[in-house]
Chains A and B, each alone.
Chain A
Amino acid sequence: MTRALSIPTFETERLCLREPRATDFEAFVDFFASDRSRFVGGPSSDRWAVAKAYGHMAGLWLLRGYGSHIWCLKDGTVIGHGGLWYPQTWPEPEFGWCLWDGVHEGKGYVSEAMSAIWKYAFETLNLAAVVAYIDPQNAASISVARRLGGILDPDAATPGGDPDLTYRFTPQVAA
């Protein structure tokens, strides 16, 4: 009667992508309190709401069969989260990425992590397509999406009809 849930972990050249842990929560709270969370539903200093958001992120792995990872440097330092993201109100599964602290920007960590996730999505899960919904002001993420093979899809539905840009990824356009 014991039931199991497996979350794959990935090692890249400089990063480890692993399961969300309770011990990451305070860093997640700090990220959500900062302006850096403005493109992913923040900022918020409401610990109740942030705890619910964190639990939801962990639970998506069972509901969808895939989900988002916590990203660490090889020394264990948590630098962000990202991966696949498909909550109930999303029209399609999404690639998402967040670096929790600006000091980790500009090093190619997001591209490195998302390249591994791209392979997971299209070569392991065999998804037909994945999108990224990006605020038009978020130039850094737009540039990541393009490098990852994303193509702007002006006709795609966005969550709640938000005026986000939709970049579409398919296995035919390699990262």
Chain B
Amino acid sequence: MSVTFTTPALETERLILRAPQPRDYDAFVDFYASERSQYVGGPLVGRDAWNAFAGEIGHWVLQGCGMWILTLKGDDTARGIVGHWFPSNWPETEVGWVLFKAADEGNGYAREAAQAAIDHAWNTLGWDTIVSYIVPGNDPSVALAERLGAVLHPDAPQPNPDRPILVYRHPHPEAAK
């Protein structure tokens, strides 16, 4: 007997969001070794980076959803991680985004992927709320959250009250009607 977990892929105009695979490990590790990871729990090296990557995959097992690897259509190179994050210690369901390299910024990839993840959360996962947790100082992510229509929610529950974080709340589509 066995239990099988399936990870769907999402396709957008320019992107494929697909399941993390062992071959993506090097790109993940390179990102987490860099200063670019300072707003998402890094820098991490060695076993800490390995554990974090295993945790990305484990999230799919435990929660039935998780972070996809962001790739371009026709190029399977891992360029980032985007999707759903609700580990056991999180107060609310989150949509998050990371581009591994600065060279991929400015093309709207993160926005295109995050919008697909948000739509999937409302329409397929049936989430009731979506937040994005952003470390103060991560101005590009704040700007993206606002472009996506999210609004700062100062009183929202914090994942780690000892280290307050900005909570951006994405409006439920029903509220816009």
Contact = CB atoms under 8 A, between A and B. Distances in A.
Contacts of A19: 3, 5, 61
Given A9-B1, A59-B56, A88-B50, A3 B18 contact: yes
A57 B58 CA distance: 7
Contact of B2 (A1, A8, A20, A63): A8
Interface stretch (B6-14, B106-114, B117-125, B147-155): B6-14
Task: Please tell me the size bucket of the interface on B.
Answer: 35 or more
A43 interface: no
A48 B21 contact: no
Contact of A59 (B4, B6, B58, B160): B58
A58 B57 contact: yes
B51 A56 contact: yes
A55 to B, nearest CB: 4
Given A5-B60, A20-B62, A25 B88 contact: yes
B160 A48 contact: yes
Contact of A7 (B2, B55, B63, B88): B2
Contacts of B57: 5, 58-59, 61-63
Interface string B72-92: 000000000000000111000
A1 B19 CA distance: 9
B47 A2 contact: no
Contacts of A48: 89, 160
Contacts of B52: 52
A65 to B, nearest CB: 9
Interface string B135-149: 000000000000000
Contacts of B4: 4-7
Interface of B: 1-9, 11, 16, 18-22, 25, 46-47, 50-63, 87-89, 160
Given A47-B88, A59-B57, 8 more contacts: A1-B18, A5-B61, A6-B3, A51-B89, A55-B59, A55-B87, A59-B56, A59-B61
